[in-house]
Structure 1
Amino acid sequence: MSSGPSYTSMNGHHIPNGSASYRVPTPSGTIAPHPDFRQAYHTNGYSQNIYQEHDQKIVNHLYENGFKQGEYADILLHVHQNVYRLHALILSRSPFLVHLMSTSPQVNGLKTIDVQLDREPEITLEGFYIALGYLYSSHSLHAIQPHNARAVLAAGCLLGGMEELCEYAYETCKRSISVDTINSWLEFIDKLPATSSGTETPDVSPISVFGFYAQRIRDDIFHFLVVTLPEILELHSTPNNGTPSSPEPTGREVLLQVFSRVPFEMFKAAVESPNFQIDVKGSDQARFKFAKEAIEARKRGIARGSGCEETVVLAFGGGNSGGSAVHITRKMRKRPLWKVNS
């Protein structure tokens, strides 16, 4: 005796197992087998995009009415002075918010969660709002701009579960690195923990809210300083007759101003890098001369009052193709000894 068909329960509906035996109505009134009903729409004169349009309507409804208007909310989310009426099912996309929801009390039918951002100064209210909105819809991507991209990236990394948002915000950050913005980016990386070794681009502490994006941004800034900035300033260009030309004074001055603010470990790695070419030959002598000028500028800038002394040496036979190498060192200044007369 054969057994009857088995059924799967989905949200209150009993659907027979075996897609061939389950048929759904199409807009034309015909019957199409499941799960190929999308293809049936196409063959019956209906566009395959009909389900995409339907899904988009749902997403738009969630974003406009659920996120922006807070209708039918079951969660109150507090962050600084702001309160958002949100939905647990949508917030469950974020591992961070799932934890908060599971450990927060429920009052008058609404669960209240409090997000503390005091220890995350990189996360602004604007960045947090954009990341929250992304839980509802990709529409939030349109709000990411160079001025808020870093804050969005920080918020996305904190909330978790939104790799696409983080990647989009990171790429916006990367494209925003320029001569005009490099100083603010240098201030940013100066806040990140660095290793004591200057032979490579410094590592970033894993406790950073940015995770591995912090190191990627630091690498991008390093590449900008070593390769892109000298090219922008045309420091190793040649005239049409083929004879080397001196760098434009303004270009060199800009480079010195920038490097007077670079944190030491990155300054050391950049100047010692053979890829840092500030003349047409890319010589060690040119980097050595530039390093001496930069160190003098740094005494009036980032190195001022640090209690450390930076020096540069040109070591012949250093092992590179030019037969010499530039080395940057830093040591604590010796305290003066005072003679006490008896």
Structure 2
Amino acid sequence: MRCVSCFQLPSSIFASSIMSSASSSTASNGLHTHSDASVSPSATHPDQSTHSYLNGFADQSLHNQKIIEYLYNYGFQRGEYADTVLHVHQNVYRLHAIILSRSPFLVQLLSTSPQVGGPRTIYVPVEREPEISAEGFAIALGYLYSSVSLKLVRPENARAVLAAGCMLGGMEELCQVAYETCKRSISIDSIGAWLEFVDAIPSPSTGADTPEVSSVRIFGSYAQSMRDDVFHFLVVTLPGVLEIQTTPSDSAPITSDSGREVLLQVFSRVPFEMFKAAIESPSFQIGSDQARFKFAKEAVEARKHGIARGPGFEETVVLAFGSAQGPGTSAVHVTRKMRKRPLWKVNS
């Protein structure tokens, strides 16, 4: 068990906060705020009409920035004057309940953890959330103190930050930044890891069955968004990156052998439901129906040695002809069925 002070950052990198005034008279820590107590800047300070005033006082954004800088440096990174000890993974944080209360998840832990002399101790259960790394959780935790954490999100940790942010709650801006970083990180080099991730996402429930238990359930609506992003990459972006273009007659794709081979390798690892949807999608432009049918057959053959191997299901591809195909539909269809068990003949 070790005590951490997270990430030391240059003191110049800090975001300013936005203050909001209450609509009615309130009292917090002995300070009263009245919504009708504002004074005209020009009336009280005619020689400073170019400045912004609130309740007769000049805008204190620089002062607010210094407060946030102090909170992050001394409160989060150094843990001074802490009243709460937080345990997560193998790390121990000395923090402050008033800041942690910004997170609905941590509020629940605080309210159910008794305080018997000294700092309150809380334990964050993340053992069943493999997507939440120590770094990702630290960035999300720091965001409760300052938006400087937004600058720490990188492609390598974005998914872990998103998972931690979704679990803690109350940090939509951080989640959105992490999600957009995830979206931009989908590439040929990373598609294998993203395919493993979407394969773990449970299919949308109809409500009639028991929800599946998944290691990615914590992402909420972002899970489906990332699934859609991976699908768009496979169907639209990847053929473009590999320079697979159709001829004017749409008879066959113009591409190098290496580009087509890469496309086959990627599709040989795609989960079946996404593979079927991609092959049959009108947006998957790799040539004529015959060209798409040939590609699908080769992909199915390659899948037999990888994702579709084993005694379970058998994947097949069919090419439909005639007028049954409506506009915007695919003549190429992918199906899957259980393999027939071999019949054993018993000799008498």
Please classify the TM superposition score into its range, dividing by the shorter chain length. 0.7 to 0.9
SS of corresponding position for 1:209: helix
SS of corresponding position for 1:83: strand
SS of corresponding position for 1:67: helix
1:110 corresponding residue in structure 2: 119
1:187 corresponding residue in structure 2: 196
Q: Residue type of the partner of 2:241?
A: I
Pairing 1:205-284 to 2, within 5 Å after superposition: 208-236=217-245, 246-279=254-287, 283-284=288-289
- Shifted more, 186-195 versus 170-179: the winner is 186-195
Distance 1:37 1:300, change over 3 A: farther
Give the TM-score normalised by structure 2.
0.82
Measure, in 2, the Cα distance between the counterparts of 1:319 and 1:133. Answer: 55
- Contact in 2 for aligned 1:77/1:114 (Cα 8 Å): yes
Distance 1:155 1:8, change over 3 A: closer
Distance 1:75 1:157, change over 3 A: same
1:301 pairs, out of 288, 298, 306, with 306
Shift of 1:18: 3.7
Quote the sequence identity (%).
65
User: Does residue 312 of the first structure (1) align with residue 317 of the second (2)?
Assistant: yes
Shift of 1:187: 0.9
- Quote the RMSD (CA, aligned, Å): 3.0
Shift of 1:243: 11
Measure, in 2, the Cα distance between the counterparts of 1:323 and 1:168. Answer: 36
1:26 corresponding residue in structure 2: none
Measure, in 1, the Cα distance between the counterparts of 2:60 and 2:218. Answer: 38
Unaligned runs of 5+ in 1: 1-5, 21-32, 198-202
Shift of 1:109: 2.0
Count of paired positions: 313
- Contact in 2 for aligned 1:204/1:214 (Cα 8 Å): no
1:28 corresponding residue in structure 2: none
Q: Which has the higher contact order (CA 8 A, sep 6+)?
A: 2
- Highest Rg: 1 or 2? 1
Measure, in 2, the Cα distance between the counterparts of 1:114 and 1:140. Answer: 22
Distance 1:318 1:252, change over 3 A: farther
Measure, in 2, the Cα distance between the counterparts of 1:45 and 1:247. Answer: 66
Shift of 1:8: 5.5
- Shifted more, 124-133 versus 47-56: the winner is 47-56
1:340 corresponding residue in structure 2: 346
Unaligned runs of 5+ in 2: 1-23, 53-57, 207-211
- Shifted more, 205-214 versus 146-155: the winner is 205-214
Measure, in 2, the Cα distance between the counterparts of 1:166 and 1:41. Answer: 42
Measure, in 1, the Cα distance between the counterparts of 2:328 and 2:59. Answer: 65
